[in-house]
Amino acid sequence: MPTVAVQPPASHANSVPVLTRKKRNRIFPHTPKRRDSSLTHRQDPLNGFLNLTFVILVSACTNLIIRNYMQYGILFDFTFLTCIWGDLLGAAIVILGMIFYSFSVWVVVKAMIRGVIGHKRATMIYSMSQVLLYLVPIRIVFIRQMAPLMGVSVFLVLVVISLKIHSYFATNSILYKHLQKGKKRDSIFPNNVTIPDYLYFLAAPTLVYETYYPRNVVIRFGFLLKELAGCIACLLVAQLIFAQFILAILYDTENSQGLMHDVLRLSIPSIVAWLLGFYAFFHCWLNVIAEILRFGDREFYRDWWNATSLDIFWRKWNILVHEWLLRHVYLESLRTAKQSQNTAIFWTFLFSAVYHELIFFVGFQVLRPWFFLAMFLQYPLIVFSRFMYNNVLDPRYRDFLGNINVWVGFFVGQPLILILYIREWFLVNPSLSCIPKTAGLGWF
């Protein structure tokens, strides 16, 4: 059959001319025409490859479970349930003491509003109370040599109370200053400064004080029980993963082939345990507290898993801390201290880095700068990644590459924390919840 040469379409201007047959009556349900393959025109979805990735992940995790069982056997035990009672009473006493002590800030705010003391004196008393709030509980943790689980619990409650009372004092102070100038910025202030209001703020799953919070009409007990069961289930599975997979690798220093080898071995179990812990606390537990209190504002996190850069991740993964840092560090640096935007960002990252290091310092009672450096060095990394994102990377792929970069940081960062901090503890002590044999029972 005769053929003729035809020019390609405009979209294929760089292609060579192709030969095509003259028009003929179609005998079979297939007519040759100019077409590109699916991976060339890129218009077909890649959902199948996403499903394949999930299958590969399940296969890899199954292989990891089988190899772990063949090498170590069953390692999960309930030691943490027996050891946790070791200094639970001491930790409970310290936590209750901090809660009662925090009422001193309410007294200071009440006295300031009634005119008993001025704002400057109230600020000085408040600052001294913050210093004592940190010194006394941390001193008790060190004297009693609390196990990391109890020590970290005490310090985290301390940090929550500290951030809450700062927000309470700072917010009411600003409203008080405006009221003194004849500007009533809030219709509820100063009637909000009551003990029931302060108690509700202490218990509410938020770190930023407001004179009013939206509340639900009723408590949904079915929802509450579901989230509570989810919290317990996630924590038990996370404990199983830690005891069976993570702890076995941390102990197994003889088969270690170096730092990167251990990072790769710990990457999957550590990220799974972290995700379970995140879901247990930020979703299940905070929703349980919010449901009991009928607290309406429940955006505790956003879609951090889609973050395309580190700064977006830090803004989305912990909304409670992010909102506190935004109001009381970043904005106060801009408005009160008259700092530049870059300087305010610097102080925000410095504050966050110091507190992250303090968690491990109090919990393991040893000072190593690794967590501080890892957090603080993210500031120049964020500046560099922003430049790459906006000026270098192909717009078609930069979101994909940015998200991959965030997840790679997870897969490297979590194992490094386990190796640099927790491995040293387990080489000497049997459990995170057991009191060391040399621990004392004193208080000061």
Q: What is the pLDDT of residue 13?
A: 47
Q: What is the pLDDT of residues 344-355, one digit of tens each?
A: 888 888 888 889
pLDDT of amino acid 257: 80
pLDDT at 399: 81
Question: What's the pLDDT score for residue 79?
Answer: 63
Please state, in angstroms and rounded to a whole number, the distance separating the CA atoms of residues 421 and 429: 13
- Among candidate residues 352, 302, 355, the one with its CA nearest the CA of residue 325: 352
Residue 408 has a pLDDT of 87
Q: How far apart are CA 305 and CA 403, in angstroms?
A: 8
Kindly state the tokens that stand for 22.
């003259």
* Alpha helical stretches, state H, 304-397: 310-316, 319-325, 332-335, 341-364, 370-376, 378-387
Q: Which residue has the tokens 């509410």?
A: 204
How many CB atoms are closer than 10 A to CB 215?
A: 13
Host H or E run for residue 5: strand 3-6
Selected catalytic residue, list 166, 178, 283, 356: 356
List of the chain residues with pLDDT < 50: 1, 4, 6, 11-13
- State the pLDDT at residue 261: 84
356 is catalytic: yes
Q: How does DSSP assign 363-378, residue by residue?
A: HHS---SHHHHHHHTH
pLDDT tens string 206-222: 999 999 999 999 999 99
